[in-house]
Structure 1
Amino acid sequence: MQLDVFPDQTRLRREEPEKNVRRFYMMVVQRDLFGGASLVREWGRLSSPGRVQIDHHPDEGQAIDALANLMTVTRARLRRYLRVKQELLTAGTRVVNYPG
């Protein structure tokens, strides 16, 4: 069994039922018939078709590089989102004492 050093697909999912948020984001590198490769990105609400964007690249290596660059940006956005959410949770934290 050979492990992928450079992943050719990524799937992200976000669910927050209390806010009615159910989203997905998928990126896949696919070879085409002409020796190139395409980076296919799909995003939207879970259980719906979503939007699709296809970026064509001359070879699979460049498509994987584009995927890696997008994942770097996506991770930065996720870290920023989680940091902001954590700050909001910290600022809005209340201590509730229950009788008993």
Structure 2
Amino acid sequence: MEQLVLHRIDPARNMARFYALSVEPTLFGGTALIRNWGRIGTRGQAMMQTFDEGSQAAEALIRLERRKTRRGYAPPPR
């Protein structure tokens, strides 16, 4: 299972968002890309996208990661 968590925090705009992506197996032998997003501190929303191959899900995860980092999301500070 791969998991990626990104944050976008901008105190000037009162913005504190998260975007989490994970690749997980499905019960029927496929692979699912699970997306969770919302304001930090809330449960947020979720969406699941299924794929026949794990490589397709990994490619979709990489595309979403690129899109979000272009919009200002970054890994959370440690």
Which is bigger in relative contact order (C-alpha 8 A, separation at least 6)? 2
Q: Is residue 2:23 matched to residue 1:12? A: no
Report the TM-score, using the length of structure 2 for normalisation: 0.78
Q: Is residue 2:64 matched to residue 1:76? A: no
In the TM superposition, what is the alpha-carbon distance from 1:76 to its structure 2 partner?
2.5
Bigger Rg, structure 1 or 2:
1
Q: Is residue 2:34 matched to residue 1:40? A: yes
In the TM superposition, what is the alpha-carbon distance from 1:18 to its structure 2 partner?
4.3
In the TM superposition, what is the alpha-carbon distance from 1:57 to its structure 2 partner?
0.4
Local SS of the residue matching 1:9 = strand
- Structure 1 unaligned spans of 5+: 1-6, 80-100
Q: Kindly indicate which of the two structures has a greater share of residues assigned to strand.
A: 2
Residues 78 and 19 of structure 1, relative CA distance in 2, 3 Å threshold: closer
Local SS of the residue matching 1:27 = strand
- Structure 2 unaligned spans of 5+: 74-78
Q: Kindly indicate which of the two structures has a greater share of residues assigned to helix.
A: 1
Partner of 1:55: 49
